[in-house]
C-alpha cells in the first residue's frame, strides 16, 4: 500500500517533468542543429520548469544570436487549449528567449498560476498598480512570473537576485546587445503577473523591431511591459484583455 501510494502521489510531478523534457529537448536540439522551426502540435503540455530558447558558445563564454520559431495551432480565440503550455511554477516564466534574432512565437496558449484577488469591479478600478496582484507569484522588476520573457538574463544576477531556479543562466561576458525582430502572434497569456515582458534584466538593450499581434490577455498585474529606452519600431496590434489586468 505504501508503494502504491508513493506512485500515485509522484505521478503528476513525473508527467509535468516529462512534458518539460520533451519540449526543452526539442528546442535545444533544433537550435543546436540550426533547425529553425518546431511545432508543438495539437497538444496540452504542463511544465514545472521554464522553457528557454538560447544558444551558448562555451569557447567564447557568451550567448550568441540564433533564429528559431516555436509554433502551435491555437489562435487568440482558443479557449480550449488547442496548443497549450501550462507553467505550474510561480517564480519563473513559461518561455524565455535570450538574444534571439528574427524569432517567432505563434499559435500558443500560455497558462500561468496568477490568481486575481477577490474584489468587486469597483474595488479593482480603485486599486493601485503597486498594491494589486497575487502575492504568491513572483513580482520582482527584473524577474517576474511571466508568460514570455525576452532577454531574461545578464552576466551576473540582477539587483532582485534574478529567477531563483535559473541562477546558472546569469553568466558570460557582459554586453548590451539583445533580441531583435521578433514576431509574436495569436498567443494567449492567462494568469501571469506579466503576460509579455521585454528585456527586464537591466543590462541588455535592443528589443526593437518587434511585431506583437492578435493577443489575448486574461487576469494579470500587467499585460505587456517594456523595460528600456531603446525599444523602437515596436508594433502592437489587436491586443485584447479579459478579466482583471492593470
pTM: 0.92
Q: What span, in angstroms and rounded, lies between the C-alpha atoms of 236 and 126?
A: 27
- Averaged pLDDT score across all residues of the chain: 92
Q: Strands, DSSP E only, in 64-135?
A: 69-71, 84-87, 93-97, 104-106, 109-111
Instruction: Give the model's pLDDT for residue 17.
Output: 87
Dihedral sign for Cα 211, 54, 21, 165, please.
negative
Where the chain has pLDDT below 50, the residues are 1-12, 14
pLDDT digits (tens, 9 = 90+) for 36-91: 999 999 999 999 999 999 999 999 999 999 999 999 999 999 988 899 999 999 99
Nearest to 57 by CA among 175, 183, 227: 175
Q: What span, in angstroms and rounded, lies between the C-alpha atoms of 110 and 224?
A: 14
Q: What span, in angstroms and rounded, lies between the C-alpha atoms of 143 and 50?
A: 12
Instruction: Give the model's pLDDT for residue 12.
Output: 47
pLDDT digits (tens, 9 = 90+) for 228-239: 999 999 999 999
Nearest to 85 by CA among 147, 150, 166, 149: 147
Instruction: Give the model's pLDDT for residue 79.
Output: 85
Nearest to 239 by CA among 169, 186, 175: 186
Please check whether residue 203 is in contact with residue 230, taking contact to mean a CB–CB distance below 8 angstroms. no
Distance of CA 229 to the CA centre of its chain: 21
Instruction: Give the model's pLDDT for residue 16.
Output: 61
Amino acid at each position: 500500500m505504501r508503494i502504491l501510494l508513493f506512485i500515485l502521489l509522484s505521478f503528476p510531478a513525473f508527467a509535468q517533468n516529462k512534458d518539460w523534457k520533451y519540449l526543452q529537448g526539442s528546442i535545444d536540439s533544433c537550435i543546436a542543429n540550426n533547425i529553425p522551426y518546431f511545432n508543438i502540435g495539437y497538444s496540452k503540455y504542463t511544465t514545472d520548469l521554464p522553457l528557454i530558447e538560447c544558444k551558448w558558445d562555451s569557447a567564447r563564454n557568451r550567448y550568441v544570436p540564433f533564429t528559431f520559431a516555436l509554433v502551435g495551432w491555437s489562435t487568440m480565440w482558443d479557449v480550449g487549449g488547442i496548443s497549450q503550455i501550462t507553467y505550474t511554477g510561480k517564480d519563473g516564466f513559461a518561455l524565455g528567449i535570450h538574444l534571439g534574432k528574427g524569432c517567432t512565437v505563434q499559435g500558443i496558449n500560455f497558462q500561468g498560476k496568477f490568481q486575481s484577488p477577490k474584489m468587486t469591479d469597483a474595488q479593482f478600478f480603485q486599486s493601485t498598480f503597486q498594491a494589486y496582484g497575487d502575492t504568491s507569484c513572483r513580482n520582482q522588476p527584473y524577474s517576474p512570473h511571466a508568460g514570455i520573457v525576452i532577454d531574461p538574463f545578464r552576466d551576473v544576477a540582477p539587483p532582485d537576485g534574478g529567477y531563483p531556479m535559473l541562477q546558472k543562466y546569469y553568466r558570460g561576458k557582459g554586453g548590451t546587445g539583445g533580441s531583435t525582430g521578433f514576431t509574436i502572434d495569436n498567443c494567449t497569456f492567462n494568469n501571469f503577473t506579466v503576460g509579455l515582458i521585454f528585456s527586464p534584466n537591466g543590462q541588455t538593450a535592443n528589443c526593437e523591431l518587434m511585431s506583437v499581434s492578435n493577443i489575448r490577455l486574461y487576469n494579470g498585474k500587467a499585460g505587456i511591459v517594456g523595460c528600456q529606452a531603446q525599444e523602437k519600431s515596436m508594433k502592437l496590434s489587436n491586443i485584447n484583455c479579459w478579466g482583471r489586468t492593470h
